[in-house]
Amino acid sequence: MIESKAWKWEIVDKDDKYWNSPAKEVYFLCQNWKDKGYSEFLDVGVGFGRNAIYLAKNGFNVSGFDLSEHSVKMTYEKAKEQGVSLGEIKVADMLKFPYNDESFDCMLAMNVISHTDLEGFKKILGEIKRTLKTGGEVYFTVGSKKSFWFNNPVCTYVDDNTRIRVEDGPENGIPHFYMGDEDCFTLFNDFKIIEIKEVRELTKHGNFSPHYHIWLKK
């Protein structure tokens, strides 16, 4: 299993609108989870806190973690600037969630749990299952094997699903796990699948970035 490596958040523009606005899916998930009576929320890989802060504003008890100390620091700073109270945001490795069994009603992991290899991805799914309450839900994204980066020969091969990105920026040297359609039928057998969809997002660089959006229930 490959060692986890933190994003280089220190070189990310802290005022970039993208990193200060919730992911568009979060608006729907927030209302959906409120309607279900969920309250205990975990943000896996908080980044600059864009999703955690939004959920806290909407009445959720928010916990979260990130491998980057800078990320955790900035999340607290941005929450304070907006007058938002968060629960404990920890520095931790996603290969071992620092929480007790059955702790959370709902979880979010946007472009986070794919930063590992196949063995690590399976371990993270086990941690999600362990810490979700029975009946709880998780929503996360994973890169598609149709991605430019998965098929780019400059990236280092790790296993049939994993490449290490080689590029300028915060993701240089970070492992990326990618899925194909066949993986949808083998990886999530311990969960009830609510929805799996493949989304092609147009990046600011003018490229399409294909990802799977995966919504599961324990």
Structure tokens at 55: 């959920």
Give the residue numbers spanning the domain of 42: 20-95
pLDDT at 208: 78
46 in a domain, yes or no? yes
What mean pLDDT comes out for the span 41-54? 97
91 in a domain, yes or no? yes
4 in a domain, yes or no? no
Kindly give the residue spans of alpha helices, DSSP state H, lying in 58-117.
69-81
CA distance 148 to 129: 31
Query: Which residue is it, tokens 């969920």?
Result: 38
pLDDT tens, residue by residue, 110-167? 999 999 999 999 999 999 999 999 999 999 999 999 998 899 999 999 999 999 988 8
What mean pLDDT comes out for the span 164-176? 88
Structure tokens at 199: 């989304």
Structure tokens at 89: 């945001």
87 in a domain, yes or no? yes
100 in a domain, yes or no? no
pLDDT at 204: 65
Output the domain CATH number for residue 61. Answer: 3.40.50.150
Tell me which residue of 3, 24, 79, 27 sits closest to 48, measured CA to CA: 79
pLDDT tens, residue by residue, 56-114? 999 999 999 999 999 999 999 999 999 999 999 999 999 999 999 999 999 999 999 99
Q: Report the domain count for the chain.
A: 1
pLDDT tens, residue by residue, 8-37? 989 888 888 888 899 999 999 999 999 999
Q: What are phi and psi of 98, to 5 degrees?
A: -85, 50
174 in a domain, yes or no? no
Give the type of residue at 158. Answer: V
201 in a domain, yes or no? no
